Amino acid sequence: MRTVVVVGGGAAGMMAALAAARGGAQVTLLEKNEKLGKKLYITGKGRCNLTNDCDREQFFAHLLHNPRFLYSAFAGFDNAAVMDLLRQSGLPLKTERGGRVFPVSDKASDVTKTLTGLLEEAGVIVRLHTAVNALRVTDGRCTGVRTKDGTVPADAVIVATGGLSYPSTGSTGDGYRFAREAGHMVTALYPSLVPFNARLSCGLPLDGLQGISLRNVEIRVTAPDSDKCLYREFGEMLFTHFGVSGPVILHLSGVVAERIAKGPLKLMIDCKPALSDEQLEARLLRELEAAPNKSMANVLRTLLPAGMVEPMLAQACIRKDMPAHQLAREGRKNLLSALRGFGLELLSLRGFNEAVVTQGGVNVKEIDPKTMASKKLPGLYFAGEVLDVDGYTGGYNLQIAWSTGAAAGRAAAAGPAM
């Protein structure tokens, strides 16, 4: 019987162990934490958005890096397959807005419970509190792993150690070291799906905006010295004490993670994207004419959350105590353009501690996309976030873990093709 060791008991590792055991191998799953799936518990705000119930085309459209690499793994174990597996194992699921799939119980822990039950049934040996320190390499093959208690020999090893995000869950990047030691290239690593540190372009402090949530705004991002748009999207965002967050901002981070490492970017918020220029001007004129003696600050409160009024006026170079009737044509033009492009400077990404995923990882050119086998070291396989594949929020990142885990597990159990 072939022996397989899986390093890391997260989503990818559990799926890999299950697939390898069902493929006939004797499987040992090594996890350094006190329990399996520590990160799974906090996914989807504790509800676990475990996949997305979309079609194939939509799935790949939501991957940020190396989608083609996943074609084969997704074909072998797709979103329908993971939903079937969990439902047939007694976990009812539901689909919410945007195709996001959750357990009906809204408990991420139920996903882990279901998977651990399946691992037990399949005879997988789970060893907790067991950190792998290194791969064991004998005669140019990976033949097991080393832990502080000694060697665990195996015919095949699957590295499913996750990335660098939320290191408190155990994802501390060990797999990148194992990969490099095995001769692999690891691409540059960035936090992704993460908020930004930012400041207001008008120079006022950000404090007054903290906690303001903007729905249905359009954001545009450019380099500071160019008008070339790097990103443009509608959605919801949030001001925090350090900068900006919220769904559309997390999305943005996935697109510009690498770019912002080279320097700050300009963010412009269209506060009224649903109105044409003419409609916006007419709306503003209406407000000004309705209260000619009110201050500009008071007038703008009818259009914006209170905390945004002062910085908006500052950006448009308008005194906040100026009576509305004194606003000349030029001032109105400035105000309209500020409402269309409220400016912030994006300084940097928040760190890995706050990132949903890691961008970058083991170079997929050195991995067989059908089997997740290393092209550098026979007997070695990779699965999950440790690979240079990542997606947007919505269940796509866990699906990457399930698909690559299943592919690696099946292949590791089958052994090298003769």
Ligand X SMILES: Cc1cc2nc3c(=O)[nH]c(=O)nc-3n(C[C@H](O)[C@H](O)[C@H](O)COP(=O)(O)OP(=O)(O)OC[C@H]3O[C@@H](n4cnc5c(N)ncnc54)[C@H](O)[C@@H]3O)c2cc1C
Number of chain residues interacting with ligand X (CB under 6 A): 38
Q: Does 303 bind ligand X (CB under 6 A)?
A: no
Q: Does 39 bind ligand X (CB under 6 A)?
A: yes
300 to 1, 8, 286, 324: CA distances (angstroms): 74, 54, 12, 10
Q: State the helix-helix crossing angle for 329-340 and 277-290, rounded to 10 degrees.
A: 120
Q: How far is the CB of 18 from ligand X (least distance, A)?
A: 13
Contact flags string 60-89 toward ligand X, x per CB under 6 A: ------------------------------
Q: Does 409 bind ligand X (CB under 6 A)?
A: no
Instruction: Give the one residue of 99, 162, 191, 243 binding ligand X; rule: CB under 6 A.
Output: 162
For residues 356 and 400, the answer to whether their CB atoms sit within 8 Å is no
The CA angle 379-383-389, to the nearest 5 degrees, is: 130
Instruction: Give the one residue of 4, 20, 27, 31 binding ligand X; rule: CB under 6 A.
Output: 31
Instruction: Give the one residue of 385, 389, 412, 413 binding ligand X; rule: CB under 6 A.
Output: 385
Instruction: Give the one residue of 17, 21, 28, 38 binding ligand X; rule: CB under 6 A.
Output: 38
What is the distance between the alpha carbons of residues 160 and 133, in angstroms, rounded to a whole number?
14
Q: How far is the CB of 142 from ligand X (least distance, A)?
A: 15
What is the distance between the alpha carbons of residues 388 and 186, in angstroms, rounded to a whole number?
8
Q: How far is the CB of 174 from ligand X (least distance, A)?
A: 4
Q: Is 2 exposed, middle or buried (0-12, 13-18, 19+ CB in 10 A)?
A: middle
Strand 125-127 relative to strand 26-30, pairing: parallel
Q: Which of residues 332-371 bind ligand X (CB under 6 A)?
A: 356-357
Handedness of CA 331, 337, 340, 343 (dihedral sign): negative
Instruction: Give the one residue of 4, 12, 135, 157 binding ligand X; rule: CB under 6 A.
Output: 12
Instruction: Give the one residue of 161, 371, 374, 403 binding ligand X; rule: CB under 6 A.
Output: 161
What is the distance between the alpha carbons of residues 271 and 226, in angstroms, rounded to a whole number?
22
Handedness of CA 303, 308, 310, 311 (dihedral sign): negative
In this structure, the number of other CB atoms found within 10 A of the CB of residue 350 comes to 17
206 to 159, 213, 214, 236, 244: CA distances (angstroms): 43, 14, 15, 18, 10
Contact flags string 122-141 toward ligand X, x per CB under 6 A: ---------xx---------
Q: Does 158 bind ligand X (CB under 6 A)?
A: no
Q: How far is the CB of 49 from ligand X (least distance, A)?
A: 3
Q: Does 10 bind ligand X (CB under 6 A)?
A: yes
Instruction: Give the one residue of 165, 192, 240, 403 binding ligand X; rule: CB under 6 A.
Output: 165
Instruction: Give the one residue of 144, 170, 254, 311 binding ligand X; rule: CB under 6 A.
Output: 170
In this structure, the number of other CB atoms found within 10 A of the CB of residue 139 comes to 6
Instruction: Give the one residue of 186, 237, 269, 398 binding ligand X; rule: CB under 6 A.
Output: 398
Tell me the window of 17-25, 78-86, 170-178, 181-189 that interacts with ligand X (CB under 6 A): 170-178
Place of tokens 């799926």: 15
Q: Does 171 bind ligand X (CB under 6 A)?
A: yes
One-letter identity of residue 244: V
Q: How far is the CB of 262 from ligand X (least distance, A)?
A: 25
Q: Which is nearer to ligand X, 100 or 266 (CB)?
A: 100
In this structure, the number of other CB atoms found within 10 A of the CB of residue 276 comes to 10
Tell me the window of 27-35, 63-71, 85-93, 282-290 that interacts with ligand X (CB under 6 A): 27-35
Q: Which residues bind ligand X (CB under 6 A)?
A: 7-13, 30-33, 38-39, 42-44, 48-49, 131-132, 160-162, 165-166, 169-171, 174, 356-357, 384-385, 395-398, 401
